[in-house]
Structure 1
Amino acid sequence: MTNSEQNLYQKAWLLSLFTIFYNVIEGLVSLFFGYEDETLALFGFGVDSFIEVMSGIGIAVMILRIKQNPESNKSSFEKTALKITGFAFYILSVGLLAGIVLNLINGHKPETTLWGVIVSSLSILIMIWLMYAKMKIGKKLGSDPIIADSNCTKVCVYMSVVLLLSSLIYELTGFAYADVIGTAGLIYFSLSEGKEAFEKAEGKECCCH
């Protein structure tokens, strides 16, 4: 492996670490204010952040393995981690769906969605930067796993946009079902990520679109 390739893998490793630590902070903030403001969409976004941490750890391990042996196959540890992540996304989807049903039955509305606007706006900026940074490195290395990670970061951008739109609509108009609609959008992307995790565990090509 050339020095240039080693430097690129080191950058990919640092990006994966940043992804993990950022999602931990984002998750804690989202869970706290989602609970305090009683907004299901923001709370679900926070739970998703911690699932992304699980996935990010798997990617970090994968990058280390690729750095040592670029031609090696997925290890059993990585496959198990991906399957656990997939199940976690499915469980999150069920939990969010139950929350939607309860909110509709009780006619519950969030106190405010201001923090949803703040968190999602910051997330969009950071995830777009991460997405392009990972894609650039992945293409230079010809590394499918790193490119796949970049494509999956795109899903995080979509989820952030859904949270931003639903939070803005509620904050500006007080539309009663904005939080519910935003949560439904998170369920859609959560199911997509769950499916993607299982496909990667089976060694299929990543296609997080």
Structure 2
Amino acid sequence: METTDFNKKLNYALILSVITIIYNTLEGLVSTFFGASDETLALFGFGVDSFVEVLSGIGIAHMIFRMKRSEIKERDRFEITALRITGSALYILTIGLIVGAGIAILNKSEPETTVVGIIIAVISILTMYFLYREKLKVGEKLQSQPIISDAKCTKTCFYLSFILLISSGIYEIWHIPYIDAIGSLGIAWYAFKEGREAFQNAKSKSLSCASNCC
């Protein structure tokens, strides 16, 4: 691949990374606000996960900046620290969602409404699908495992959006008890999985990821 073409694709990868950071920040702010005000644990947990994904996105953006300067063979200290912070935050989120779901079930708490959760989930599904396809495409063209793995992380966010959509939709239509708590447990499972993978990748330091998410 010519140097000019390589740099153009790296710049596009960086733009996608910045879009991911900005989108997840906005999504996190809106989701946590309405999750708290409407008392929907699934939406609140989804929002906190969005903030954690911002940390991961910053690590990827930093890696792309390094790739623009020279060839890289392993993660640097900043990227490893970002992975460890991301993993810790995801583990804390997992525990918080499990405890919150237990309390909600014991107290028979139900959301006031899950309409906002439905809207955010639909927007997130469309956005994450676009980002996943574009990241995967540019990662394959650059033959960059970190960018391909970041695309797979975005695909995980795509799945989380479906969990939010299903739990929010079912509750809003049929008002089935505990469905919001069950949805939050689904988010907790993915948060735990992502957290474990973040620590594994931080430990290995390698840019070739055996897991689906870098």
Q: Which moved more, 1:193-202 or 1:144-153?
A: 193-202
The amino acid across from 1:189 in the alignment is Y
Q: Distance in 1 between matches of 2:184 and 2:74?
A: 37
Match of residue 57 from structure 2: 56
Within 5 Å, give how 1:155-174 maps onto structure 2: 155-174=156-175
Match of residue 93 from structure 2: 92
Q: Distance in 2 between matches of 1:120 and 1:52?
A: 16
User: How far did residue 206 of structure 1 move?
Assistant: 4.5
**Structure 1: unaligned runs, 5 residues or longer:** none
Match of residue 5 from structure 1: 6
Q: Distance in 2 between matches of 1:81 and 1:148?
A: 16
User: Percent same amino acid at aligned positions?
Assistant: 49
Match of residue 66 from structure 2: 65
Match of residue 207 from structure 1: 211
Q: Distance in 1 between matches of 2:136 and 2:210?
A: 13
Match of residue 126 from structure 1: 127
Match of residue 197 from structure 1: 198
Q: Is the 8 A contact 1:15 1:134 kept in 2?
A: yes
Within 5 Å, give how 1:8-19 maps onto structure 2: 8-19=9-20
Q: Is the 8 A contact 2:87 2:196 kept in 1?
A: yes
Q: Is the 8 A contact 2:66 2:72 kept in 1?
A: no
**Structure 2: unaligned runs, 5 residues or longer:** none
Question: RMSD in angstroms over aligned alpha carbons?
Answer: 1.2
Match of residue 178 from structure 1: 179
Deviations, residues 16-36 of structure 1 (Å, cap 9, x unaligned): 000000001000100111011
Report the 3-state secondary structure (helix = DSSP H, G, I; strand = E; otherwise coil) of the residue aligned with 1:72: coil
User: How far did residue 195 of structure 1 move?
Assistant: 1.1
TM-score, with structure 2 as normaliser: 0.95
Total equivalences in the alignment: 209
TM-score, with structure 1 as normaliser: 0.97
Q: Distance in 2 between matches of 1:133 and 1:70?
A: 22
